[in-house]
Structure 1
Amino acid sequence: MTSFAAEPAHIHGSTARTAVLVVNLGTPEAPTAPAVRRYLAEFLSDHRVVEIPRWLWKPILHGIILRTRPAKSAAKYASIWTPEGSPLKVWTEKQAKLLLGALGEQGQQVLVRHAMRYGNPSIASQLDALKAEGATRILVLPLYPQYSGTTTASIFDAVGQWGQQTRHLPELRFVNRYHDDPGYIDALARRVQRHWEQNGRGDRLLLSFHGVPQRTLTLGDPYHCECHKTARLLGERLDLPADAVLVTFQSRFGRAKWLHPYTEPTLRQLAQQGVKRVDVACPGFVSDCLETLEEIAQEGRDAFLQAGGQEFHYVPCLNDDGRWIGALAGIAQQHLQGWPTAAAPDGRAAELQRERALRLGATR
């Protein structure tokens, strides 16, 4: 029999609220082997991420990967860790706060929280918190511009799992993709242009997206096509010839064939072909993280320079860029249409809602 979580105490006359929950991938709590092991165990147990029968995958995951990979990955995380914590955590928190401000400036008085698909704060905990604050309408906004079953759909799974344990469901909406959103493309272009203004322009602009197994493309996942459309629109926005923009895929895992061309071999090949300088951006990541700061800005740089290249320039992710926050607010507003964005509740109602949130937290 299903056991439903206790509902927040109902307060008659309280204002129903509209909320936005922005969701990113996640990060370990610390750059240590135990923390990375916990994170990887959750991440790599997701059937959306690893499409291998559980009876076959579980012994490999727990018998090999979680015994050998955490220490190596922890060292990589340590190389990019900041005093405030994981870069992805820091930037995601800032993006949520800035989104709240941007929506408020545009007259959208909504609640905004952030969550991580893996790790903390979890999607379930943040949905609980939004309900406790009076949210009856929630827009789930993944921080993945390009749709993939391995990422975007996994967020929807997590929301669905939360819903299966929830008695009184809020209205829910989801954002699937915004890979071709004009505001997003404009923010990417301006980020690259500012880098060129400050550092000059390279011989090639390489756009590295996170990889997924090749079989996902043949099975109908649109991710590969959406990455290429983002790249095409960005190149057009920058007024670059087609051969000046390269699309590659990074972060391979395992022995299966993944989307190609692969980023690091391409960087080596460019250097060997006589390309002296390359500029690399990662449009699929809106927050700098391990995959951009360590895999690209460190390992990618080393690969290019060791193969004979002379200058490697990494273009930072959008992070807290003003144009990006404006684009994110525009995407949210588009999907909030038709929902009332009521004024903030009066002081007494707000106090009662805070008390209700505290009571709920104490029972979970």
Structure 2
Amino acid sequence: MAASQHATDLEMVQPGEGRLGHAPADHPPVPRGRVGVLLVNLGTPDATDYWSMRRYLSEFLSDRRVVDYSRWLWQPLLQLVILTRRPFVSGKAYRGIWNQALDESPLLTITREQTEKLAARLEATHGDRIEVAFCMRYGNPSTDSVLRRLQARGCERILVFPLYPQYGSPTTATACDQAFRTLMRLKWQPAIRTVPAYFAHPDYVAALAASVHEAYETADTPPEVLVASYHGVPRRYLDEGDPYYCHCRKTTRLLQERLGWEDAAIETTFQSKFGPEEWVGPATVERVAELAREGRKHIAVISPAFAADCVETLEEIQQEIRDAFLAAGGETFTYVPCLNARDDHIAALAAIADNELAGWLPPATAG
């Protein structure tokens, strides 16, 4: 009865229409009755030139979730020292992976494709009541602009879906923070839900395992060990209660169990250290070199924390980390791509979204 009544409420005003039955004739149209799903990824510069990179890096590195040093100390160092040089280095890295055909970063291309595929899948089961969109925490399309667009299109309820399987303060938390900042400025706030960490979701783990199987089957030489490389965080984050490190370790364990492998066949490492303090380890770039020196000449690397390939995987792993392994005597380096827009990944995202949308929509029907 409750689901039936809720369905009736949703159908009072069809998506895209605008006038309530009790409103006066001169009331402006108000789209109503839709549910939004907002995928949130880390971010991307608009271009690879110095000023585009500087704007992007300034927004990213000014986020207190990312770098939580005192602003009085950090901002002068960031603006006067780091951002005079870092945009050149980062711009070069992005130019090496840039999608020249669309003049955008691979992360933007892939996130758009994920959004389109997820929208099609959810529409097949829920019809046109759901509006799926994506935004970037840093850069464009911005969280604020896309949230406002969803509301303007009649989304009274919005599911914010950070594309980070493992919860982390510098990733999941800041994505949600930015959505909440928009709510603070809205006169009429939509209802908001956020998707929790999904590192243990069986469909996500199954998709990871399938991607490993496919990479191993096509590798010229079977890898002797799989290195699961996650983006690193300062060690004190773990000490202060951030569960990211533990989520990463558990992801590796669940993947190992799904693959049915022995302990020696898979390792957990962390990449992308920034700044002088101690970070969680071992460091990927150092560990792959050690593996080569230990006689493990054929390895594979996977990045379970990234939902889409980006500069950290396409440039850092496939160039810097690969080079470190080969320079230490390694022979074959197999990169296992991120899950990107694989069908099994989209199915996992749809299953997660369906679970979090419970109560906001009538029961799904096969389509």
TM over 0.5: yes
Aligned pair 1:143/2:160, yes or no? Answer: no
2:249 corresponds in structure 1 to: 228
Instruction: Spell out, residue by residue over 1:113-142, the C-alpha distance to the aligned partner (whole angstroms, 9 max, x if none).
Output: 000000000111000000110000000000
What is the number of residues matched between the two proteins?
Answer: 336
Paired with 2:82 and 2:19, the residues of 1 have a C-alpha distance of 49
Aligned partner of residue 157 in structure 2, secondary structure:
strand
Instruction: Spell out, residue by residue over 1:242-297, the C-alpha distance to the aligned partner (whole angstroms, 9 max, x if none).
Output: 12111000000011111100000001111111111000000000100000000001
2:320 corresponds in structure 1 to: 299
Aligned pair 1:12/2:20, yes or no? Answer: yes
The AA in structure 2 aligned to 1:203 is E
Aligned residue among 52, 73, 78 for 1:56? 73
Q: Relative contact order (alpha carbons < 8 A, sep ≥ 6): 1 or 2 greater?
A: 1
Q: CA deviation at 1:341?
A: 5.9
Aligned residue among 259, 262, 280 for 1:238? 259
Paired with 2:117 and 2:205, the residues of 1 have a C-alpha distance of 19
1:77 corresponds in structure 2 to: 94
Q: CA deviation at 1:342?
A: 11
Paired with 2:81 and 2:68, the residues of 1 have a C-alpha distance of 18
1:101 corresponds in structure 2 to: 120
Q: Evaluate the alpha carbon distance shift between residue 238 and residue 58 of structure 1 in structure 2; reply closer, same or farther with a 3 A threshold.
A: same
2:309 corresponds in structure 1 to: 288
User: What's the C-alpha RMSD, in Å, of the aligned pairs?
Assistant: 1.6
Paired with 2:223 and 2:344, the residues of 1 have a C-alpha distance of 24
Q: Evaluate the alpha carbon distance shift between residue 25 and residue 115 of structure 1 in structure 2; reply closer, same or farther with a 3 A threshold.
A: same
Q: Evaluate the alpha carbon distance shift between residue 332 and residue 239 of structure 1 in structure 2; reply closer, same or farther with a 3 A threshold.
A: same
Instruction: Spell out, residue by residue over 1:220-242, the C-alpha distance to the aligned partner (whole angstroms, 9 max, x if none).
Output: 00000000111000011111101
Runs of 4+ in 1 over 4 A off after TM superposition: none
Q: Evaluate the alpha carbon distance shift between residue 62 and residue 341 of structure 1 in structure 2; reply closer, same or farther with a 3 A threshold.
A: farther
Q: CA deviation at 1:11?
A: 3.4
Instruction: Spell out, residue by residue over 1:184-239, the C-alpha distance to the aligned partner (whole angstroms, 9 max, x if none).
Output: 00000001101111115201100000011110000000000000111000011111
Aligned pair 1:219/2:240, yes or no? Answer: yes
Instruction: Spell out, residue by residue over 1:155-185, the C-alpha distance to the aligned partner (whole angstroms, 9 max, x if none).
Output: 1111111111101000100012000000000
- Which segments of 5 or more consecutive residues in structure 1 lack a partner in the other structure? 1-8, 344-364
Aligned pair 1:24/2:34, yes or no? Answer: no
Maintained 8 Å contact 1:203/1:275: yes
1:155 corresponds in structure 2 to: 175
Aligned pair 1:254/2:259, yes or no? Answer: no
Paired with 2:316 and 2:174, the residues of 1 have a C-alpha distance of 24
The 5-angstrom pairing of residues 190-205 of structure 1 reads 190-199=210-219, 200-205=221-226
1:47 corresponds in structure 2 to: 64
Q: Taking structure 2 as the reference length, what is the TM-score of the superposition?
A: 0.89
2:195 corresponds in structure 1 to: 175
2:136 corresponds in structure 1 to: 116
Maintained 8 Å contact 1:206/1:247: yes
- Which segments of 5 or more consecutive residues in structure 2 lack a partner in the other structure? 1-16, 22-30
Paired with 1:215 and 1:313, the residues of 2 have a C-alpha distance of 32
The AA in structure 2 aligned to 1:294 is E
Q: CA deviation at 1:15?
A: 4.0
Aligned partner of residue 164 in structure 1, secondary structure:
helix
Paired with 1:67 and 1:265, the residues of 2 have a C-alpha distance of 28
